[in-house]
Each structure stands twice: as structure tokens, then as C-alpha cells.
Structure 1
């Protein structure tokens, strides 16, 4: 794959958790808290330069065009209208030539992100999904058809998204039997934390990119923070034991960043966090995503 050469990034806060349904509410507070955590990194920028200690390189921020569009004013009383409003705003970002970085919010905000990228593509779409849960619910009396538990299912129903281009990483625990059949029928790839531990972030990122890019035009990258073990992300909507660690996740994001077209990070929950550990990690991941694209631009 060829790394994308780009320097325009748009941050959009989607402070919406009305669709959390069965998880902990509170993800609506994440965009603002993540921005507060980002300030710790931004305060280290002097004369448009910051020192990347892990690469022993200076980064020239002046080469990057980063815009923060704030938080979208969402119609919380109407979920269908909220989804439409989110998609319309992402549409405008893509049409303006910026790479969207979406701050959830619960995982339901991923669906309008996927749909927007889909509508701005002529070819097939691939999906890289980091999550502890499958999010393949067909329908739910509690959450409905469009929720934080169904966005991957809805994506697979679109004509130009094939399950063979969907890779779900970090999946663990127990789930509905019908999801087993759906995964098999649609040829979705699952990568467990065990495989991630055994093969490492570089190997897994290469595998994920190969699957998501095979015959596709663009790739959507969604990161549910509960892919991490609870020890590294206590502030999430629905924790599961046995996840990957923060070092692995940071390296994975760095590897895939120059190849994907939209990046969202969801289910960060300041209400259940401890000393802003999870928001701080989310901020680091966002900055890593941008800086990895910077290296692709100049190298």
C-alpha cells in the first residue's frame, strides 16, 4: 500500500451517548475532556516545533493544517435526526478536503461516519474496527437498529462494503450465536487479543490493512476504547477483561494512520475514568495519528 500524502485534519466532537442503551452513560463528556488532555501535548509546541522523543525527531507543526470544528450541536431528542446531522457535518469536512478525526460519543456515531465516507466513494470500502464487542446486532427493543451495538452490521448491509474487507480486532468474551453465523456467512475477519499479543502490533496492523484494502478505494478506522484492558482504560462505556495494552494500541495506530481515510475514537467515558487516564490516552492516540501522517508527508 502507498501512504497517503496529506496535511489537513479536522477534529469534530460528537458529544452524543443517547444510544449507549445498555452501557455506562457519560461518553458525551469525552470530546471536551480529550481536548483538555490534548492541551498537555500542545503546550509543548514551541516555535511550531515539538520533539518526538520516541523517534528522536523534531516535528514541524507549521506543515500541518489542523482545524477543530468544536462539538456538533446535536438534536438529542431524535436519534434518527442526530444521525443525519452528524453525517451532514462529516460530509462537509470531507468535501472541504480535510481528513476527519471524530471524537465520540458512543459507538453509534460511527455509522454516520461510515455512511459519509461511503457516499464520497465510488469503489468499495474497507473497515478496521478495534473493539471488544462485535456490534453486529440486527435490531434491539432497547437500542433499535441504529445504535452503538449495530454499526458494523449496518455497514455490512451496504452494497460496496463486503465482510471480506472488514477486520475486527480485540474481540473477546462471549456473544450471541447468531453473530457466529453472520461472521462466517460474511467472511469477516476476527483477531483476538491473544493473536495480537503473539504477533505484535506491526504484524497485526499489516494484516488489517491488507484485508481492509483488498480491492477497496478507502478505509474507515474506528477505535472503541474498550478494546483495551480495563487496567489501561478504566473510563469506557462497557469494559471487558483481557484486552490489549496501551503500548500495543499506540503502535497499531501509528502503523495504520497514513493509510486510512476517516478515524474515530469512541466510548471514552470521563464519568467512570480514573485521573483522566483514558482521556489522556485518547489524546495521545489522536496526536499519534496526526504525527504519523506528518512523517508520511515529509519522508
Structure 2
């Protein structure tokens, strides 16, 4: 088959602070990804048919720490040497995913697209909260740089955390067409679907108006000029969706991230 893209479902929303439901997302995103209603080609000009190596969903019914299971299963999925796209689940899963990714990539920049910084030291006394993964990620030095794009809920604590960790921020109000990032290492994309305006992705637990369009996000992904070695797509909540619109958007973003991964792999 040659170059491929690994997929792994991480159906976990036990650290969501408001609504549960994101654990149901992976199967619904896959359904849209493989639907005959849509093209299998990405905008990079590459056909994704037969390119996905699907490792299924992590089983969280087994006893043990779910974070250890995520880290272990992500490592297993990456052992074949293919780039990985993880399907959450809430945003808390990014922390253990990045533990496994970082071991394979000593140079790494995170591009985090989101309405929220998700960098609280802890939320409701939960250091694993879906509002806190990037505090843990940066504490553990799981990336060299963290670039956050699309933010529109920034408060004083967040700004303190930005200074503490040297976060590079492009708030939604300052986003400009044609934004190009100065990237010098491989890239991990963390795609929170509420980074999009709710008009484009209503199926999220924390809708925040004033966000990016689907086209703007795709253009940003397509501007990346370093290898995309892994990604996650998180915070799709099917209980809040309209006509599967957000699942379709998630599948579209998955295809465009995969297309960029393959473009690098195929030279």
C-alpha cells in the first residue's frame, strides 16, 4: 500500500466540565469519512482510498489508568512508522497522546486550533480536565513550541500561563487571511472543533461565536511547510449536532490533514 495514515479512536469524555457526549464521536466521524456521499480525494490532489490503517477504538472498559492506556495504544499505533490521527473524545486526551508522540519526535511544534486555551492549571481541582491539557503538556516539555490559533475566551489566568510557558497566540480577533506560521520542526495539530464558528460546527459542548470558518482552518493546515507527524480531532459532541454537519466537518478536516501528511510522505 505504501504510505499510509494511522487512525485511532479515543472515546473518552470523563474529564469534560459541562456536557458529556464526545466519547460517541469516533464512530460518527468514521461514518462520514467513509460515506459514498463524499469524495475520497483530499484537496492536495491525493486519493485517500486504502490509505487509512484503522486501529479501532481504545477500550476503556478494561481496568487500569485510562491515561496509561492511551499512551500505550498511541505508541502501538505509531510503531508502524505512519503519521497518526487520533479521534476524540474530549480535549483531555491530547496530554497522554503527546507523551507517546514526543518520544518519537525530539523536535515538535504544536499547532492548537481552539476557541479556548485549555491551559488552566486545573479546573474544578481536576488536573486532567479538558480545560487543562496544555498546562500539563508544557510542564512536561512535550513540545518545543505551542502555537494557539482562534482563541476568543482568554482571561487573566490564561495570560499568566501564556507568559509562563512562552505560548504564541493568534486570537480570533487578530486572525488574518493568509496567515503563515514560521515553522522549523515537525508539527502536531490539535484540532478542537469549537475553534470553528458554531455556524460551521454546532456539534460541540462549548459553542463560542466569532470563530474561524472551515475554509480558514483548511487554508491554515495547507500552509504548513513542515511534516505533520500526528494530530488529534476532539470535542465533537453528537448530542449537540445538526444533521451530522459537525461530523462531516470533522471528516473533511481529517481528510485535509491526512492529505498534507501524505503529501510529505510521498515527496
Where do 5+ consecutive residues of structure 2 fail to align? none
Cα pair 1:124 1:160 within 8 Å, conserved: no
Shift in CA distance, 34/67, structure 1 to aligned 2, threshold 3 Å: same
TM-score by length of 2: 0.89
Give how far 1:87 is off. 0.7
1:134 pairs with one of 94, 117, 130: 117
Cα pair 2:4 2:262 within 8 Å, conserved: no
Give how far 1:184 is off. 2.0
Shift in CA distance, 266/125, structure 1 to aligned 2, threshold 3 Å: same
**Equivalenced residues, count:** 266
Q: Does 1:7 align with 2:3?
A: yes
Equivalent position of 1:3 in the other structure: none
C-alpha distance in 2 between matches for 1:174 and 1:261:
28
Give how far 1:297 is off. 4.4
SS in 2 for 1:11: strand
Equivalent position of 2:52 in the other structure: 66
Shift in CA distance, 153/295, structure 1 to aligned 2, threshold 3 Å: same
Q: Which moved more, 1:287-296 or 1:9-18?
A: 287-296
Shift in CA distance, 248/60, structure 1 to aligned 2, threshold 3 Å: closer
1:149 pairs with one of 131, 141, 160: 131
Give how far 1:183 is off. 1.0
RMSD: 2.4
SS in 2 for 1:263: strand
Equivalent position of 1:249 in the other structure: 217
C-alpha distance in 2 between matches for 1:254 and 1:19:
31
Shift in CA distance, 83/265, structure 1 to aligned 2, threshold 3 Å: same
TM-score by length of 1: 0.81
Equivalent position of 1:91 in the other structure: 75
C-alpha distance in 2 between matches for 1:110 and 1:41:
30
Equivalent position of 1:287 in the other structure: 255
C-alpha distance in 1 between matches for 2:138 and 2:80:
27
1:1-299 superposed matches below 5 A: 7-20=3-16, 22-40=17-35, 44=39, 50=41, 59-61=46-48, 65-75=51-61, 81-121=65-105, 123-141=106-124, 144-159=126-141, 161-162=143-144, 165-175=145-155, 177-196=156-175, 199-200=176-177, 203-204=178-179, 206-207=180-181, 210-211=182-183, 213=184, 216=185, 218-256=186-224, 259-298=227-266
* Residue deviations 1:21-55 (CA, integer Å, cap 9, x gap): x232111111011111112258755xxxx5x6x67
Cα pair 1:18 1:76 within 8 Å, conserved: no
* Residue deviations 1:40-93 (CA, integer Å, cap 9, x gap): 258755xxxx5x6x67x5x4557x642111111014886xx1111011000112
